Chains A and B, each alone.
With several copies, the nearest count.
Chain A
Amino acid sequence: MTVRVQAAPFDYGAECARFAAGVAGAGAVVTFAGVVRDNDAGTLKRMVIEHYPAMTEKALTAIVGQARARWPLCDCLIIHRYGALVPGEMIMMVATAARHRAAAFGAAEFLMDYLKSRAPFWKREITSDGGAAWVESRSEDEGALRRWN
């Protein structure tokens, strides 16, 4: 079980390969990667992610603990970046491994739903015209959490 919070980019393909190579007994490996998407106008210059350092790893580790209590996981991984990113860059990834696919998919979706609304990250979008705006939380994201209760 690995949780990493970092400013530096990560090598998605290498992380996927390393994760899959390290799980013994798993029949199913699921990964999710979140990518900075340009805005509809095509004017996103960069996304800046702020976080609450003293809380972040603690929150992510707690989320992983909840996932492990719900599903029999062979392993799981969360990598989340902070700082300035440009469109196309990966913000974060999760990976889960389990004997069967239902657990691997369930845990990956659960981790994502919790990361979206319960991990202390805030995104700010800077556009090429100099504008800057905090990304608002989406009501769907809050709704997505309810399915796990």
Chain B
Amino acid sequence: MLDVLYFAWVRERIGLPGERVETGAATVRALVAELSATDARHAAAFADISALRVAVDQELTDFDAPLAGAREVAFFPPMTGG
């Protein structure tokens, strides 16, 4: 089981702050493929992953990161802090 979190317009586009998913995805990219197949909202949110950033267990990483042992994956747009 994996907690998948969404922030900013990713959250809005998917319509959920997060969800718990059962997945055997080996990488973030494989997880994105699974999530995109869920419904049109997920498909729209993940249509262009170059516009997204990802954190695995609260660490920024890239879409090729492995998910073995991961507990939480978050998707969001580029950050605008400061």
Contact = CB atoms under 8 A, between A and B. Distances in A.
B81 interface: yes
A118 interface: yes
B2 to A, nearest CB: 14
Given A50-B8, A52-B5, A55-B58, A123 B76 contact: no
B77 A91 contact: no
Interface residues of B, number: 17
A119 B72 contact: no
Interface in A86-143: 91-92, 101, 112, 115-124, 134-137, 142
A122 B82 contact: no
Interface in B31-77: 55, 58-60, 72, 74, 76-77
A92 B81 CA distance: 9
Q: Chain A contact residues: over half helix, strand or loop, or mixed?
A: mixed
Interface string A42-62: 000000001010110011000
Most chain B CB within a 10 A radius of its CB, from A91, A120, A134:
A120
B51 to A, nearest CB: 10
B9 to A, nearest CB: 5
A117 B72 CA distance: 21
Interface residues of A, number: 27
A122 B76 CA distance: 9
Contacts of B55: 52, 55, 120
Nearest to A80: B81
Nearest to A54: B58
B8 A34 contact: no
A137 B79 contact: yes
A55 B55 CA distance: 9
Interface of B: 5, 7-9, 55, 58-60, 72, 74, 76-82
Top 9 A-B residue pairs of the complex, sorted by shortest distance between their CB atoms: A121-B81, A137-B78, A122-B8, A55-B58, A116-B82, A119-B81, A115-B82, A115-B81, A135-B80
